[in-house]
Structure 1
């Protein structure tokens, strides 16, 4: 039989590239018949992929792809030629800048897209005169970056996936890598466990990662600090700290020790809803290990105290000397394939490419030497701050490859806020919920239709290569952004790139951590930042001799618990959210897979049997989940996997939209929303068949 995709108007070919889903960065390529196959790559050396990667081509030839520019006319979208659509964007954004200034425009960068594309977008914003540029790292790991940058000098993984196999203890806090990063789990974490490493899992829900764990601490959402402080207290009490490391590489131990002396391990355990002896068991496993690695995820970071949560985990690593050696460190697992890179190249409001502060005059001067324009010195708005100000200080939005009307907290309010803008342009593959509020929608390119680079969760910069041409009249994102740069700024020559490689070369001159890298050097492999042009190598394990702050020592921190923003009223349950194996974020990357998931019931609300019985809810019953922010209907999955008093569902589905329920209280340091703790009422849906309560 003939592969139907080979006989369509589009052409496909097999070229090694990088999976568009999680931050692991597996190698994939086109396998025919509209499917992807794994290829040997820097991360997946055996060529394996997970179900997410296998579905990666679902989006590429999808029947709902946008193929022509859309402009709003008399309240509805009509197709338009590219020149007309681009002129509309230039007129709409330009009018807002003329009337309200450049800070009235918010730019949404995309962690689904390449380093080169995000670099061009943030350059456009800054040459226009604003630092209002942000990406969805704000919703995922902004608190991790804030804490680790403050204490250690860099917010990325301190170690590599490879050297996790050398760990004697893996302390997985608020992450479920077995389902969210399957290849990393199977190739790096499980081998360490099979070689004798102890796996400690701190998570309110038992899941596939828990099955491999030796110790499980099913804490109440929002009590990470209580658990980490209790573990730290045990480390000090039982003399499991590294005195030599503390003396040579840290400051503030006496103050922290005094603070921990007042921590009641049993009381903290009770507050977290976990067994105090299990807390001590976890502390001993971590403290007695020669090499212990913390692995952390969004269960840690997505709280209004997410930065403090990470500070508490950093204390554990520093107290025990588990920094600067293979098999140790603090290692955040990134959610999307270029969350790391989009931030690296400047897709954040407070830093320039390479994480140098916008307030740093020397850094601005170096950037100005390349761009011919000095970027603004005042930090811009985060994307959540910006949506809260739509229609007021912010009057226009440029949304590139993101869907904030679905992915931001209190999503219904965010969707309404988009209607308050004077102008909005969206660059995407589909008519998303955000695109529904746009004045212009530009059809961009899917992952398999573009070249460039992405940076994975352990700082490897890898090359993307096209596996398909474009559908209809869609254009490559890099070309669209460059065209906008030429129209919107008074430096059109700064956006005359021959292609993505030219933009990457510019990144290496502007971002010191990428200095010396090249497409040729990356080849079919990778180059890791921080990169040294002198020896042509990247740094695998950070902070070995000194921290990236430039200091020999890092401070220990006193961290006090912070209560969640949503207090529980009588009868309410805590809603926490996350991904499962077959699902990925807003679903815009793999819609067919999302429909299959809905058929399998994987978008169900997990609820403990006792909580279900109290409410007359049976397994498979339709239920209504509600609070003052909204209401959704979903199917109940009654299971002891989730602890009593807590419910769990996947996030970012358009239906049911769990983010209609999540709160927009923000971490004061990182501006990250509290996705992981929402107070909700759960009851049988009207018209549903309620179970008989005992």
Structure 2
């Protein structure tokens, strides 16, 4: 478990982890904080924030050069570019990684031995890995580790991204990515035109912009209008001041949501949408399981399901969207997304969901990917070197490293959960966790209001002294509009490949709020 506090973020996954632990499974947690899942672990690596990549490379060094624990048969039969990986890891000893990660070399060795021993080992990761300057490279290194030990393609193995929301996987499957159309077909490819033009007619053949690039475009005027659905960038995107400047610079802003969010307050047009209990459709979860959802309540007066709103907008713009139901839309999906082709609403209802790929009506679904081969044929080992500078270092002015995350009773920007009095009662305001030694050095006391300041902005939160994080590190949840964590985080330090900001690595200072 790396970069994920499942006890607060994914309680159902956490329940499965605790059940597996009771059955005798060994658990390793990589987290700067001693979370409940870390407390449960056989090994807790309290890693220095931002150093995941160094750790993973060191684990592979131990397996390759010290333990000889790699799966040679799997490597020879299923992968390529192994020699390049091996050469890149030769110097990545635990002693090299120790000052970068803050971990003892023997703890790194023990972790490597336990993972490689298996016989079945699984890796779960989340935003603590991806929301870093090295996020893409760390994901690549984790994939290397899995292939190095042959831990993929069978039960209780693999590399599992714990998605941030219940239908992130389904949204990506349907093309909610800048580079792809539904089914992960490249937007600018000939295959994309062949597959989709017959249904949609002519469409733009260029790839889209990434979210941080969109925000840049709003500010510099190259993007003049935006249509935001179910998203609250005023509270979720980095550097809130720049986000607001970009949104206010637009000529026209449409927001489609179920509540009046801080983002919706800036809109020229608001399209009131129905909630998940008030519509029909499918969700696809992190195991690629497509599940049917049904309307439990009728939509409130003046609100409508998203698909109906979108159809009207498309038709008003001169397009054609004459669907009568979500079932009809799903049937179109089956025509253009081969991995969904064998599913229909009847099967999804009767079989309580199906895991794609499910290419034919008689196919049982695919609970375990890559059993016989990878999508590209052979698995590709990649070289993922640790950069010399992450660009997010602390200094005398900003001496603490801020980590952001969730608490158990709230979700994302609190659009729904903070409207529940029972949930908000448990966490009614923002708090900052700080090690008692740091608080004492600053002459701050537990429960005081403190001001947290970064190079981007400042907020006020209530101080909680906590021994479950390391000195020099502070933690702030991101659910509270009155103390928005994204007022502190930076838009400047991005993963060079996917442009994700380093939301888990922000230099800050802390002082008494006056």
Q: TM-score range by the shorter chain?
A: over 0.9
Counterpart in 1 of 2:432? 605
Choose which of 74, 88, 96 in structure 2 pairs with 1:267: 96
Give 1:594 deviation, angstroms: 7.3
Choose which of 615, 619, 643 in structure 1 pairs with 2:446: 619
User: In structure 1, how many angstroms separate the alpha carbons of the residues matched to 2:296 and 2:261?
Assistant: 24
User: In structure 2, how many angstroms separate the alpha carbons of the residues matched to 1:358 and 1:245?
Assistant: 33
Helix, strand or coil at the partner of 1:300: helix
1:4-55 deviation digits (Å, cap 9, x = unpaired): xxxxxxxxxxxxxxxxxxxxxxxxxxxxxxxxxxxxxxxxxxxxxxxxxxxx
Helix, strand or coil at the partner of 2:390: coil
Helix, strand or coil at the partner of 2:37: helix
Choose which of 315, 324, 349 in structure 2 pairs with 1:523: 349
Q: 1:303 to 1:598 in 2, by over 3 A?
A: farther
Counterpart in 2 of 1:559? 384
Establish whether residue 472 from structure 1 lines up as the match of residue 301 from structure 2: yes
User: In structure 2, how many angstroms separate the alpha carbons of the residues matched to 1:219 and 1:356?
Assistant: 37
Counterpart in 2 of 1:667? 495
Choose which of 319, 331, 345 in structure 2 pairs with 1:491: 319
User: In structure 2, how many angstroms separate the alpha carbons of the residues matched to 1:497 and 1:324?
Assistant: 38
Counterpart in 1 of 2:258? 429
User: In structure 1, how many angstroms separate the alpha carbons of the residues matched to 2:512 and 2:272?
Assistant: 41
Choose which of 54, 64, 87 in structure 2 pairs with 1:226: 54
User: In structure 2, how many angstroms separate the alpha carbons of the residues matched to 1:477 and 1:609?
Assistant: 48
Counterpart in 2 of 1:284? 113
Structure 1 segments, 4+ long, off by >6 Å, are none
Choose which of 388, 398, 406 in structure 2 pairs with 1:579: 406
**5 Å matches for 1:204-219?**
204-219=32-47
Helix, strand or coil at the partner of 2:55: helix
User: In structure 1, how many angstroms separate the alpha carbons of the residues matched to 2:89 and 2:175?
Assistant: 38
Counterpart in 2 of 1:449? 278
Choose which of 374, 384, 388 in structure 1 pairs with 2:216: 388
Give 1:507 deviation, angstroms: 0.9
Give 1:662 deviation, angstroms: 0.7
Tell me the TM-score normalised to structure 1 length: 0.71
**5 Å matches for 1:284-363?**
284-363=113-192
Counterpart in 2 of 1:191? 19
User: In structure 1, how many angstroms separate the alpha carbons of the residues matched to 2:428 and 2:105?
Assistant: 36
User: In structure 2, how many angstroms separate the alpha carbons of the residues matched to 1:508 and 1:532?
Assistant: 9
User: In structure 2, how many angstroms separate the alpha carbons of the residues matched to 1:527 and 1:646?
Assistant: 42
User: In structure 2, how many angstroms separate the alpha carbons of the residues matched to 1:595 and 1:670?
Assistant: 38
Q: RMSD over aligned Cα, in angstroms?
A: 1.5
Choose which of 218, 239, 251 in structure 1 pairs with 2:80: 251
Establish whether residue 178 from structure 1 lines up as the match of residue 7 from structure 2: yes
Establish whether residue 546 from structure 1 lines up as the match of residue 373 from structure 2: yes
User: In structure 2, how many angstroms separate the alpha carbons of the residues matched to 1:473 and 1:256?
Assistant: 58
Tell me the TM-score normalised to structure 2 length: 0.96
Counterpart in 2 of 1:459? 288
* Contact 1:575–1:680 (CA under 8 A) maintained in structure 2: yes
Q: 1:387 to 1:308 in 2, by over 3 A?
A: same
User: In structure 2, how many angstroms separate the alpha carbons of the residues matched to 1:507 and 1:565?
Assistant: 43
Counterpart in 1 of 2:335? 509
Q: 1:245 to 1:599 in 2, by over 3 A?
A: closer
Give 1:516 deviation, angstroms: 2.1
User: In structure 2, how many angstroms separate the alpha carbons of the residues matched to 1:584 and 1:267?
Assistant: 38
User: In structure 2, how many angstroms separate the alpha carbons of the residues matched to 1:227 and 1:669?
Assistant: 21
Give 1:267 deviation, angstroms: 2.7
Give 1:592 deviation, angstroms: 2.9
Give 1:424 deviation, angstroms: 0.7
Give 1:292 deviation, angstroms: 0.6
* Contact 2:253–2:269 (CA under 8 A) maintained in structure 1: yes
Counterpart in 2 of 1:40? none
Q: Which runs of 5+ in 1 are unaligned?
A: 1-171, 687-694
1:120-178 deviation digits (Å, cap 9, x = unpaired): xxxxxxxxxxxxxxxxxxxxxxxxxxxxxxxxxxxxxxxxxxxxxxxxxxxx0101112
Helix, strand or coil at the partner of 1:537: coil
User: In structure 2, how many angstroms separate the alpha carbons of the residues matched to 1:520 and 1:635?
Assistant: 51
1:561-620 deviation digits (Å, cap 9, x = unpaired): 133332211251000111121110011122234784466467311111121111111211
User: In structure 2, how many angstroms separate the alpha carbons of the residues matched to 1:462 and 1:599?
Assistant: 31
